[in-house]
Amino acid sequence: MEEIILEYSNELLSSAIILTVVVILRFLTNKAVRKVGSISDLNEARTRLVIKYISFGFTALAIVALVLIWGVNIKELGLILSSIFAVIGVALFAQWSILSNVTAGIILFFSFPFKIGDRIQIMDKDLETSGNYVIEDIRAYHIHLRKDNGQLVTYPNNLILQKAVCVISDEIIENEGSDAV
């Protein structure tokens, strides 16, 4: 056992440093995302979802760094990874909308042009049920919108970024109600 430790001491030390740095970065990033979520008054479920994505990214980077540190034969690993990525690439190309909706969900989290509880109007001529909506939930793939008549509409995140969206303030709604009287 001592021979193995002596023989691979550089790799073990480098691996320990990489793992420590990744754990610290994940902790700091998670703390920052939670702070952005609380300052912006965002839903806790959305915050946890973004933290999951970031943690997955850090884990992937740590695995790549460990593979490089331990000197895995790149030719053999390259063959395996290229086969895996070819299959994943075909699957993602076939399901590009899922990836674009997840990306749009992350953009919506950090840009927060609107939040849960806001009343919005989507300027989309293809949307069959036009009118005002209240945002009930913002998920990874879609947004739950509630019409005034109680109808629930799910709208994809990538479309909400592509279409013009008007956030309607409560003052406008109160003025419209007083005008009708």
- Specify if 107 maps to a domain: no
13 and 78 fall within a common domain: yes
Backbone φ and ψ for 24, nearest 5 degrees, come out as -65, -45
- Specify if 110 maps to a domain: no
- Return the pLDDT at 100: 82
Question: Residue 168 is part of a domain; what is its CATH number?
Answer: 2.30.30.60
- Return the pLDDT at 25: 94
- Return the pLDDT at 170: 59
Q: CB–CB of 62/22 below 8 Å?
A: yes
- Return the pLDDT at 142: 87
- Return the pLDDT at 23: 94
- Specify if 104 maps to a domain: no
* pLDDT tens sequence across 113-122: 788 888 998 8
The domain boundary residue, chosen from 94, 126, 147 = 94
55 and 26 fall within a common domain: yes
9 and 58 fall within a common domain: yes
How far apart CA 70 and CA 4 sit, in angstroms, is 13
The domain total for the chain is 2
133 and 74 fall within a common domain: no
Q: How do the pLDDT tens digits run along the chain, 181 residues long?
A: 788 888 888 899 999 999 999 999 999 999 999 998 888 887 788 888 889 989 999 999 998 888 888 887 777 777 777 888 888 777 766 667 777 888 888 888 777 678 888 899 888 877 776 778 999 988 888 889 999 888 898 888 888 888 888 888 755 555 555 444 4
How far apart CA 78 and CA 130 sit, in angstroms, is 51
Give the domain extent around 150: 115-180
- Return the pLDDT at 62: 93
- Return the pLDDT at 137: 87
62 and 144 fall within a common domain: no
124 and 60 fall within a common domain: no
What is the identity of the amino acid at 151?
Q
Tell me the H-state helices in 40-169: 44-69, 74-94, 96-111, 157-162
